[in-house]
Amino acid sequence: MGRAKRAPPNESTTLLVGLASLGPPYVTDILVWYNMNNNYRQLLMQPKYAFTALVFTILLGNAALTTAETPIRIDCEFPGGNIILERIENSTVFVRPDLRDTKGNWFYWSFRVRGAEGGELTFRFNRNVIGVRGPAVSCNEGKSWRWLYGKALKSPQNSFTYKFGPDEKSVRFCVAMPYQKGNLGALFKKYSARNDFVVEHHATSRKGRDVPRFRFGSIRSEPKYRILLTCRHHACEMMASWTLEGLVDTVMANDSRGEWLRENVEFLCIPMVDLDGVEDGDQGKNRKPHDHNRDYYPEPPIYPEVAAIKQFVPKWSKGRLRMALDLHCPFLYGKSNVKGGNQSLFFVGNPKEDSFEKLMSFSKILEEVLKGPIKYDSRRNLPWGESWNTLKEPRMFARWADNLPGISIATVLEIPYADISGEPVTIESARALGADLAAAIERWLKRQAENQ
Q: Domain spanning 181-451: which CATH class is it, in words?
A: alpha beta
The predicted structure's pLDDT at residue 49: 46
H or E element at residue 203: strand 197-204
DSSP code string of 402-428: TTSTT-SEEEEEE--SSEETTEEP-HH
Q: What is the DSSP letter of 270?
A: E
Q: Are 187 and 248 in contact (CB under 8 A)?
A: yes
The closest of 30, 34, 4 to 114, measured between CA atoms, is 4
Higher pLDDT, residue 130 or 16: 130
Residue type, 294: R
Q: Which of 73, 78, 98 is nearest to 88 (CA)?
A: 73
pLDDT of res. 70: 57
Mean pLDDT of 381-399: 96
Closest of 436, 394, 426, 433 to residue 179, by C-alpha? 426
Q: What are the structural domain ranges in the chain?
A: 5-174, 181-451
Nearest to 396 by CA among 230, 174, 155, 195: 230
Length of the chain: 452
Q: Is the pLDDT of residue 156 over 60?
A: yes
Give CA separation, 46 vs 33, 34, 41, 43, in Å: 10, 11, 9, 5
Q: Rounded to a whole number, what is the distance in angstroms from the first to the last CA of the chain?
A: 50
pLDDT at 405 over 60: yes
For a pLDDT cut of 90, what percent of the chain falls above it? 82
Helix (H) or strand (E) holding 28: helix 24-37
* Across 342-364, average pLDDT: 96
Q: Residue 135: phi, psi to the nearest 5?
A: -75, 155
Helix then strand then coil, % of the chain, to nearest 5: 30, 25, 45
Q: Nearest to residue 70, comparing CAs of 172, 173, 174, 170?
A: 170
Count CB-CB contacts under 10 A for residue 312.
16
Q: Which residues contact 295 (CB under 8 A, 6 or more apart)?
A: 301, 302, 303, 306, 395
Q: Name the CA radius of gyration of the chain, rounded.
A: 25
Residues 133-159, mean pLDDT to the nearest whole number: 96
Q: Is the pLDDT of residue 202 over 60?
A: yes
Which amino acid, 449? A
Q: How far does CA 185 lie from the centroid of its chain?
A: 17
Sign of CA dihedral 248, 181, 307, 347: positive
Which CATH number applies to 5-174? 2.60.40.3120
Q: What is the pLDDT of residues 207-261, one digit of tens each?
A: 999 999 999 999 999 999 999 999 999 999 999 999 999 999 999 999 999 999 9
Give the C-alpha distances (Å, rounded to integers) separating 439 from 349, 372, 385, 430: 21, 11, 30, 14
Residues whose CB is less than 8 angstroms from the CB of residue 175 and which lie 6 or more positions away in sequence, other chains included: 107, 108, 109, 110, 129, 130, 131, 135, 136, 236, 332, 417
pLDDT confidence of residue 255 = 98
| Predicted confidence band of residue 451 (pLDDT cuts 50, 70, 90) | confident
Contact 284, 274 (CB under 8 A): yes
CA angle 67–69–72, rounded 5-degree value: 50
Whole-number pLDDT of residue 1: 54
Q: What does the mean pLDDT of the chain come to?
A: 89
CA distance 418 to 135: 9
How far, in Å, are 347, 364, 385, 429 from residue 339 at the CA level? Answer: 10, 16, 12, 22
Note the pLDDT of residue 430: 98
pLDDT at position 206 is 98
Q: Quick one: pLDDT at residue 18?
A: 34
Label the pairing between strands 136-138 and 92-96: unpaired
Query: Is 178 strand, coil or helix?
Result: coil
